């Protein structure tokens, strides 16, 4: 985590000195990165018929307690507002830990008949969890400041299940655009979202070998609609409880982008979400400042007119070397270096952040060549990340082998009989967490297998890992 903290600080992503445990400040550059990532997921949701809303932060205690399984899981993590000024509140208010219990009573008002379904909404909000474990910036926090949660209602269980599949498809596109590798697993019964029929989760591996959950989707069945009496009128005139889903991501996605792609020089950002795609650094000797900087301004204006996000570092009190370090730390995909000789030859020198490779490009080919380079940077980051991920996805056929593979970091896939008893025993023996059963094409073990705990034959497998 030392490298991660250093980059958050020096790249001016996060201010970590706020005097409340687990609460942090997004700095301007970090906020731009965050907003670009959020804009990406919002676009994908908008394109699939979701509508953005904004619910209050406060949830009345009576709402929170409506779904017993849900409150049983979250009760120890809830922040309660008990006073308004000096006066005790008649009803305790929870700071939103998640929004199912806030949204269901309103769905009851909005949904009347089958013609109101499906209903698909989302919001980007803060949620609050009273974390008692050690907190980590972006990864384990008390105020999750970038929680995108979608909530949907449907007429049948099958339609809700289909909606979960759509959520998975959305998240695949989202993480692929960020060049983040992942596996998709069905969480075990003992670790699914409280109140869910089942939970599907996306997990990735960080450079320290620990696994980070970066997204979840839950089929809630009728559990919440029954608790809150959310019904609709069917075409045959009968009333039925709606079927609901929810799915969310948080700033853990930003953490994954930073940690997975970064290097010893700092951030290495995918061009798809980098706040700045191209930075221009003028190179000149004394007396040439205005000549070179004036030319660089024209280059910057041209690139902006072509749709690139551009920064021109025209500070005269900093050396080129200082500027190189500054912008490399911030992960700008491409750096243009322009000096008097470049101007005379009508070329620019381009340096890629991902490989530090330098090349010369004719000025009249800048638009075409920079687009090609940005795409090459993205493809290289994606290939590099998946290659590393593949090296840290292991299989084991017995408990001893699994224990050895766990020492290598990453995810270990093992045979499992399907019982909760054996799943929990595997967790306990390996001092790890079960991620669940594969529901993607990444599964490695096939055919008749033997559970690594009880030896029973089965065709099921589990993914296990050390997690955040």
Domain spans in the chain, listed from the N-terminal domain onward: 2-261, 278-373, 395-465
Q: What is the pLDDT, as a whole number, of residue 71?
A: 76
pLDDT band per the 50, 70, 90 thresholds, residue 360: very high
pLDDT in tens, 256-286: 999 999 999 999 999 999 999 999 999 998 8
Closest alpha carbon to 370 in 345, 342, 350: 350
> Mean per-residue pLDDT for 87-104?
96
Per-residue DSSP letters for 101-128? HHHHHHHHHH--BGGG-SEEEEEEEEEE
Judge contact between 196 and 161, C-beta under 8 A. no
Q: Which residues contact 88 (CB under 8 A, 6 or more apart)?
A: 82
What CATH code is assigned to 395-465? 3.30.110.30
Domains 278-373 and 395-465 share a fold: no
pLDDT band per the 50, 70, 90 thresholds, residue 1: confident
pLDDT in tens, 445-465: 998 899 999 999 999 999 999
Q: Which residues contact 374 (CB under 8 A, 6 or more apart)?
A: 271, 277, 333, 334
What are the phi and psi torsion angles at 195 (to 5°)?
95, -5
pLDDT in tens, 364-394: 999 999 999 999 999 999 999 999 999 999 9
Q: Is the CA virtual torsion 170, 171, 175, 176 positive or negative?
A: negative
Burial label for 35, CB within 10 Å (0-12, 13-18, 19+), is middle
Judge contact between 12 and 30, C-beta under 8 A. yes
Judge contact between 116 and 232, C-beta under 8 A. yes
Q: Give the whole-number percent of the chain exceeding pLDDT 90.
A: 95
Measure the CA–CA gap between 353 and 333, rounded to whole angstroms: 5
pLDDT band per the 50, 70, 90 thresholds, residue 82: very high
Q: Which residues contact 360 (CB under 8 A, 6 or more apart)?
A: 347, 348, 349, 350
Alpha-helix residue ranges (DSSP H) falling in 66-212: 68-74, 100-110, 157-177
pLDDT in tens, 49-63: 999 999 999 999 999
> Mean per-residue pLDDT for 63-79?
83
Q: Which residues contact 36 (CB under 8 A, 6 or more apart)?
A: 273, 274, 275
Q: List, in sequence order, every residue forming a beta bridge with 250; answer none if it has no partner.
A: none
Q: Is the pLDDT of residue 68 over 80?
A: no
Q: Is the pLDDT of residue 131 over 90?
A: no
Q: What is the pLDDT, as a whole number, of residue 415?
A: 98
Q: Is the pLDDT of residue 67 over 80?
A: no
What are the phi and psi torsion angles at 194 (to 5°)?
-60, 120
Q: Average pLDDT of the chain?
A: 97
Distances (CA, A) of 139 to 82, 122, 130, 195: 28, 22, 14, 24
Q: Count of alpha carbons within 13 Å of 174, Cβ hemisphere only?
A: 28
What CATH code is assigned to 278-373? 3.40.50.800
Q: Which residues contact 191 (CB under 8 A, 6 or more apart)?
A: 199, 433, 434, 436
Q: Which tokens belong to 326?
A: 């500054």
Q: How far is CA 75 from the centre of its chain?
A: 25
Q: What is the pLDDT, as a whole number, of residue 75?
A: 84
Judge contact between 269 and 333, C-beta under 8 A. yes
What CATH code is assigned to 2-261? 3.30.930.10
Which 3-state string (H, E, C) describes 181-193? CCEEEECCHHHCC
Q: List, in sequence order, every residue forming a beta bridge with 144; answer none if it has no partner.
A: 127
Strand order in the sheet with 80-84: 58-60, 87-95, 80-84
> Mean per-residue pLDDT for 287-312?
97
Closest alpha carbon to 271 in 146, 181, 381, 357: 381
What are the phi and psi torsion angles at 152 (to 5°)?
-135, 155
Q: List, in sequence order, every residue forming a beta bridge with 204; answer none if it has no partner.
A: 212
């Amino acid at each position: 985590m030392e490298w991660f903290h250093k980059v958050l600080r020096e790249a001016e992503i996060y201010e970590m000195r706020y005097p409340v445990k687990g609460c942090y400040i997004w700095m301007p550059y970090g906020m731009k990165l965050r907003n670009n990532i959020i804009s990406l997921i919002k676009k994908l949701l908008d394109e699939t018929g979701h509508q953005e809303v904004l619910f209050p932060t406060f949830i009345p205690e009576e709402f929170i307690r409506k779904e017993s399984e849900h409150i049983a899981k979250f009760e120890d993590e809830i922040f309660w507002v008990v006073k308004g000024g000096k006066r005790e509140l008649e009803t305790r208010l929870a700071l939103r830990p998640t929004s199912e219990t806030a949204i269901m009573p309103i769905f009851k008002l909005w949904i009347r008949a089958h013609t109101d379904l499906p209903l698909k909404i989302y919001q980007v909000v803060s949620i609050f969890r009273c974390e008692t474990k050690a907190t980590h910036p972006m990864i384990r926090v008390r105020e999750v400041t970038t929680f995108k949660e979608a909530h949907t209602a449907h007429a049948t269980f099958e339609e809700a299940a289909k909606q979960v599949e759509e959520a998975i498809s959305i998240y695949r596109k989202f993480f692929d655009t960020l060049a983040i590798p992942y596996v998709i697993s069905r969480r075990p019964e003992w670790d699914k979202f409280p109140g869910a029929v089942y939970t599907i989760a996306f997990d990735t591996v960080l450079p320290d070998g620990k696994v980070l959950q970066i997204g979840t989707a839950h089929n809630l069945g009728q559990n919440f609609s029954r608790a809150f009496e959310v019904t609709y009128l069917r075409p045959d005139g009968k009333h039925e409880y709606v079927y609901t889903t929810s799915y969310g991501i948080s700033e853990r996605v930003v953490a994954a982008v930073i940690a997975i792609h970064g290097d010893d020089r700092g951030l290495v950002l995918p061009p798809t979400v980098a706040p700045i795609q191209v930075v221009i650094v003028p190179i000149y000797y004394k007396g040439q400042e205005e000549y070179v900087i004036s030319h660089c301004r024209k280059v910057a204006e041209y690139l902006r007119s072509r749709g690139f996000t551009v920064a021109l570092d025209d500070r005269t009190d900093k050396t080129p070397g200082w500027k190189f370090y500054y912008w490399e730390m911030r992960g700008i995909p491409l750096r243009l270096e322009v000096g008097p000789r470049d101007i005379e030859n009508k070329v620019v020198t381009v340096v890629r952040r991902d490989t530090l490779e330098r090349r010369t490009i004719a000025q009249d080919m800048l638009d075409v060549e920079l687009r090609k380079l940005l795409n090459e940077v993205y493809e290289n980051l994606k290939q590099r990340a998946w290659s590393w991920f593949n090296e840290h996805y292991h299989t084991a056929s017995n408990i001893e082998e699994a224990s050895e593979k766990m020492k290598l970091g990453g995810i270990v896939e093992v045979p499992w009989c399907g019982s909760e008893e054996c799943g929990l025993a595997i967790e306990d023996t390996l001092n790890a967490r079960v991620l669940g059963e594969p529901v993607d094409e990444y599964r490695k073990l096939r055919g008749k297998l033997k559970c690594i705990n009880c030896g029973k034959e089965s065709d099921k497998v589990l993914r296990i890992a050390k997690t955040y």
